[in-house]
C-alpha cells in the first residue's frame, strides 16, 4: 500500500491508514456537513465535496486515456484524500496510475490500492456492491455510530472506510464491517479527528 502525501495549504490533521485482517489488530500510520443532516453526517464542507467530485471526474478521464482497456480503476476522493482501487495489467501500469492521480489538481494524498491481476468478473463486482450495502446497513443500525459519516468502498471483498472520524468511531466501524459476511479484510483510509473537533462539527442544539 502506497501513501504519497502532497500537502498544499493546510497540513493533514491526521491520516490513519490501516489494513485489518480478521485476526489482526489495527496498524495505524499517522494520527489526526450537504445542508442539514446530510451535511453534518458527511463532515465535509460543501466546497470540499465539490472539489472531491472534480478530482474524481478529472482522474477518471485521464485514467481512461492512460489505460484504455488494460485495466479497470475506480477513484474515490474524500476531503481530497484519494483512494484508487481496481485492477491493472502490469506493475508499470500500477505505478503510472499513482503518478497520474498524484498530479490531479487539489488532491492532498493518494492511497494506491490497485492490484496487478485479471479484471474483476461481473459476479465479483456484484458481490462487492452487496457487501457495501450490507456494511452501510450495519452502520446505520448500530447504536452509538453515525454511519453516514463513513464512505464505504468495496473491491474484491476488501472494504475501505473513508471519512473524518474519531479513533473510537473508526474502531467501532472496523469491528462492525469485518463481521459482515463476505468481507475479507477492512482498510481504513480516514482522517482522525478529536472528540472536541467532532463536537464543533455538530450543529448547535435548538433551544427547547
pLDDT digits (tens, 9 = 90+) for 56-87: 999 999 999 999 999 999 999 999 999 999 99
Going by pLDDT thresholds of 50, 70 and 90, the confidence category of residue 34 is very low
Going by pLDDT thresholds of 50, 70 and 90, the confidence category of residue 42 is confident
What is the per-residue pLDDT for 207?
64
**Sheet of 16-21, strand order:** 16-21, 185-192, 158-165, 151-155
Query: Which position has the higher pLDDT, 203 or 142?
Result: 142
- Asked, for residue 206, whether it belongs to a domain, the answer is no
- Asked, for residue 77, whether it belongs to a domain, the answer is yes
- Residue 53 to residues 21, 61, 96, 108, Cα–Cα distance (Å): 31, 12, 22, 14
- Asked, for residue 19, whether it belongs to a domain, the answer is yes
- Asked, for residue 100, whether it belongs to a domain, the answer is yes
Closest by CA position to 192, among listed 56, 61, 18, 47: 18
What is the per-residue pLDDT for 157?
98
- Asked, for residue 208, whether it belongs to a domain, the answer is no
- Asked, for residue 67, whether it belongs to a domain, the answer is yes
pLDDT digits (tens, 9 = 90+) for 129-158: 999 999 999 999 999 899 999 999 999 999
- Asked, for residue 207, whether it belongs to a domain, the answer is no
Domain of residue 172, residue span: 2-201
Does the pTM exceed 0.75?
Answer: yes
pLDDT digits (tens, 9 = 90+) for 97-137: 999 999 999 999 999 999 999 999 999 999 999 999 999 99
Number of domains in the chain: 1
87, HSE (Cβ side, Cα atoms, 13 Å): 12
Amino acid at each position: 500500500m502506497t501513501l504519497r502525501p502532497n500537502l498544499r495549504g493546510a497540513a493533514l490533521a491526521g491520516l490513519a491508514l490501516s489494513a485489518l485482517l480478521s485476526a489482526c489488530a489495527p496498524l495505524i500510520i499517522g494520527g489526526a456537513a450537504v445542508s442539514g443532516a446530510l451535511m453534518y453526517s458527511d463532515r465535509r464542507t460543501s466546497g470540499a465535496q465539490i472539489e472531491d467530485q472534480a478530482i474524481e471526474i478529472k482522474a477518471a478521464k485521464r485514467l481512461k486515456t492512460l489505460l484504455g482497456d488494460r485495466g479497470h480503476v475506480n477513484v474515490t476522493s474524500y476531503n481530497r484524500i484519494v483512494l484508487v482501487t481496481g485492477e491493472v495489467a502490469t506493475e508499470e501500469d500500477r505505478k503510472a496510475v499513482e503518478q497520474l492521480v498524484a498530479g490531479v489538481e487539489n488532491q492532498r494524498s493518494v492511497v494506491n490500492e490497485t492490484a496487478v491481476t485479471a479484471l474483476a468478473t461481473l459476479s465479483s463486482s456484484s458481490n462487492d456492491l452487496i457487501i457495501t450495502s450490507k456494511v452501510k446497513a450495519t452502520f446505520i443500525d448500530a447504536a452509538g455510530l453515525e454511519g453516514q459519516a463513513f464512505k464505504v468502498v468495496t473491491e474484491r471483498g476488501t472494504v475501505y472506510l473513508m471519512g473524518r472520524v474519531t479513533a473510537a468511531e473508526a474502531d467501532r466501524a472496523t469491528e462492525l464491517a469485518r463481521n459482515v459476511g463476505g468481507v475479507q479484510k477492512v482498510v481504513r483510509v480516514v482522517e482522525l479527528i478529536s472528540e472536541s473537533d467532532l463536537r464543533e462539527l455538530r450543529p448547535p442544539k435548538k433551544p427547547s
